[in-house]
Amino acid sequence: MQALTNAAPPQDLMRYPDPTRMEDILLGLLEDLRNTMINGSDDVPVLDPLELEHVEIHGEDIDIPGLTLTLTDFVLKYLSTFEVHSLHVTNVLLIRYTINFDGSIPLLEADAREYDLDLNIDGLSVFGKGEASIQVIKPRVTGRIEAAVRVIGGLTLEITNCDIVFHLEGIKPKIRGLFGNEAASDFANVFLENLVPDLVTTFESDISAFLNELIPEIANEILADLDLSGIFG
């Protein structure tokens, strides 16, 4: 990737959006995203609700050795209900911006007509098969993203750094068939409801490190081929 510089030809200086304009653009893009999630587009299917006939997860994909999980008729709802509590852009240098933000989703709900779980870790075997649903209560993301704008034949945006923290108010799982025993399932649901929020707090730095590595990689792959001149005016 070509190195970013702070210099720009004089005729291009007016093409860089000021921070207030950048805030308006980002908020507008988020509303466009919300609309696309609900209604889809020519290139993007409806994402709220997100419906997948079959999902298969293996431990090596998410760094949990010994895990195999399949979900049948999986549905994720309320992604489009995200709320932006604050979004503030500052201009660090001419072409570099810092975006501070705080956003949440009041409630996410995931359902699967059937799950099939097999997990073997440190001699412990966890298994189950049946219906499953989970409510994720007020997941929240706060942090800072640093981005750079470049004018070379067009206008592109690159995320250069981010510092993101994930919060979670609570979960309400309803998983049937764990260990092939309904009493065990009831106990596991109560256990997870109390354990998971504490785990998110305990491993906050690890979750942040994962997000801070993943988000720029995915975002820059999408942004690399986009000429944003029309959006930025």
Name the pLDDT band for 172 (thresholds 50, 70, 90).
very high
Closest CA to 130 of 78, 170, 189: 189
pLDDT at 88 over 90: yes
Residue 220 domain-assigned? yes
Does residue 232 form part of some domain?
A: no
> Any idea of the CA torsion for 195, 167, 219, 74, to the nearest 10 degrees?
50
Domain assignment of residue 54, yes or no:
yes
Q: Is residue 159 part of a domain?
A: yes
> What phi, psi does 134 have (nearest 5°)?
-150, 135
Count of domains for the chain: 1
Give the Cα separation of 198 and 75 in Å (integer): 26
What pLDDT is attached to residue 219? Answer: 85
CB count within 10 Å of CB 77 equals 16
15 part of a folded domain: no
User: Is residue 231, in this structure, part of any structural domain at all?
Assistant: no
Q: What is the mean pLDDT of residues 94-105?
A: 89
CATH number for 193: 3.15.10.30
| Domain span holding position 185 | 21-38+46-225
Residue 131 within a domain:
yes
- 1 lies in some domain: no
